[in-house]
Amino acid sequence: MKSVKISKTHVTTKYEAEDFEVFKNELFFYLLGKQKRLSFIPKLVSYDCSKLVICVENVGTTLEEYCNSGEELKTFLPKIKKIYDRFTKLGYYHNDLRYKNIIINPDTKCLYLIDFEFTSQEYKDLDDENIVKNLKKKKRTKSK
C-alpha cells in the first residue's frame, strides 16, 4: 500500500516494505524524467531509499476531477496522445493510463503522467477506461 500526502506544493508518497518493487519502479521513472528533462513527468523533489519515500512537485489536479463530463474528457485525448507517444518512443508503456493518473495544471493546461506502478517496457492491457484504445483509434483515422 502507498500512502500519499498532498500539500500545495508537494506530493509525498510512502511505500510499505512489501511494496519495495513498486517503490523502485516509480523512483526509476521520476529519475528518468529528471535525467531526460521530460516535461510531462512531475519533478522529483527528493527521495529516501531507506524510508521508501518519494516526494515530487504537486503539478495540479487529476483530469478526472478537472473535467465535468466524459465528453469534456475526450477533448483532452489529442494532448494525452502527445505525451503517451513521447513516452512510448522512449520505450515505455505506462500500463495504468486512466484519468486519475493524468494530472492537469489548471493554469497552463499542461498534462502530466503519474503512478508508474505498472509502467514497463512491455505493454500490459490494464486500461479499463480504454484511453489507449481511443488513442489508437485516433491514429488509424488520422492515417487514412
Give residue number: closest CB to ligand ADP: 115
**115: contact with ligand ADP by CB under 6 A:** yes
**58: contact with ligand ADP by CB under 6 A:** yes
DSSP per position, 30-93: HHHHHHTT-TTSPPEEEEETTTTEEEEE---EEHHHH-SSHHHHHTTHHHHHHHHHHHHHTT-B
**33: contact with ligand ADP by CB under 6 A:** no
Site string for ligand ADP, 82-101 (x = CB under 6 A): ------------------xx
> Do residues 104 and 60 lie in contact, with contact meaning Cβ atoms separated by under 8 Å?
yes
- Count of positions on this chain that bind ligand ADP (CB under 6 A): 17
Q: Please give the residue ranges that form the binding site for Mg ion (CB under 5 A).
A: 101, 115
**54: contact with ligand ADP by CB under 6 A:** no
H/E run at residue 6: strand 2-6
> Do residues 2 and 15 lie in contact, with contact meaning Cβ atoms separated by under 8 Å?
yes
24 vs 137, beta carbon nearer ligand ADP: 24
As a whole number of angstroms, the distance between CA 129 and CA 59 comes to: 23
Which residues lie near ligand ADP (CB under 6 A)? 2, 4, 6, 11, 42, 56-60, 62, 100-101, 103, 114-115, 117
